[in-house]
Amino acid sequence: MLCKALHNNGSRIFITAKLPDYIRVGRNDCIEKYLFLSTSHDGLGSIQIAFTPIRIVCANTLNAALNNHVNCIKIRHTASAHDKLKEAHKMLGITNSLSVELEAIYNRWSRVRITDLEVKKLIQLAMSPSKEVLANVQAGKNDELSSHFNNMVDNVFEYCMLSPTQLEETTKGTVFGAYNGVTGYFQNVRNFKTDEAKFKSIMYGTGLQRSQSAFDLCHEFTQHGSAALMFN
């Protein structure tokens, strides 16, 4: 296990621990497995441990929770050493289970075809910032969508279609490519004020929320096709 501190601005420290083996999609598309840990120097709050898969070819973080199972746990600083070890062992169990499930899902997604129009719709749904915008997307009321939202969707779509990492056997025209396009936008395209803001978005905030929405939509698409995108 290789550990690396990511940030330390005086109050919190962020650490990644690389786990052995990979999640493999197709023959050559490998995803490294990490545990992400954050804690505070002052002993307040809690220790947070999360499972974080990262696609090697584009350093893209593929965080997702599956079937209402958490991919993250919190440990109280006041917990005993025994309880902390128990929770850490629990996290490793979650990681092993998720790794097996995600490998099967990503491989299945890499074999499911999706059209460019369907990708665009999936992006609109996944990137919707509010219920109002989502309702307009679902109803096909494109004239009600803001130019800011449309520009963002276009940027994600462009990344999906043109990035070299999106033109591989596992990603070109596939559901896995659509998912990786949304997650990759936050990792490789969107501008953030600071590296810390980017990190927090991907691990805790908007980036994680939109990625989870894309994951859920891709999961539904593999089961129900374009009906899952509620075309009108």
Report mean pLDDT in 10-residue bins for the chain, 232 residues: 48 79 94 84 69 90 72 65 63 79 96 97 97 94 95 97 96 97 94 88 90 95 91 52
Contact 15, 5 (CB under 8 A): yes
Contact 140, 146 (CB under 8 A): no
For the chain, how many structural domains are there in total? Answer: 2
The reported pTM is 0.86
| CA dist., res. 17 & res. 103, Å (int) | 20
**Residues 73, 164: one domain?**
no
**Residues 140, 196: one domain?**
yes
Single residue among 108, 125, 145 that ends a domain in this structure: 108
Single residue among 57, 79, 108 that ends a domain in this structure: 108
**Residues 125, 205: one domain?**
yes
**Residues 72, 117: one domain?**
no
**Residues 141, 81: one domain?**
no
**Residues 37, 11: one domain?**
yes
Measured CA distances, 41 to 9, 14, 50, 84, 201 (Å): 10, 11, 19, 17, 22
Which 3 state secondary structure label does DSSP give 68? Answer: coil
Owning domain of residue 88: 2-108
**Residues 95, 127: one domain?**
no
Single residue among 108, 129, 147 that ends a domain in this structure: 108
β-pairing, 46-55 vs 72-76, is antiparallel
Within 10 Å of residue 213's Cβ, how many Cβ atoms? 17
**Residues 92, 126: one domain?**
no
DSSP 47: E
**Residues 62, 137: one domain?**
no
Q: Considering all CA atoms of the chain, what is the largest pairwise distance in Å, rounded to the nearest integer?
A: 58
